Amino acid sequence: MRKMFGFLVGLFVGGLVGAAIALLFAPESGDSFRGKVEQRTSGFFGEIRSAVEERRKALEDQLASMRSPYNN
């Protein structure tokens, strides 16, 4: 139990130190960085939504053709 607790404390402290170092050495301001991250993530999720919609349409078409009484 002590080993697990020690590991979790070390993980937490390491995360805090890593976050502090990242903030100190960030090449630009937080607002600018957040804006860039938002642009990239919205573009990324937009591409994912588009791909999912295309795949869903293809699967629906395939299912409809399989349900058709005249399929071979």
- Chain position carrying tokens 């002590």: 2
pLDDT of residue 51: 94
Q: What is the CA radius of gyration of the chain?
A: 24
Inside any domain, residue 39: yes
pLDDT average, residue stretch 22-29 = 78
The number of folded domains in the chain is 1
CA angle 46, 32, 36 (to 5 degrees): 20
pLDDT average, residue stretch 10-35 = 84
Structural domain of 56 = 2-67
Please state whether the predicted TM-score (pTM) of the whole model is above 0.75: no
Neighbours of 45 (CB within 10 A): 10
Inside any domain, residue 33: yes
Inside any domain, residue 72: no
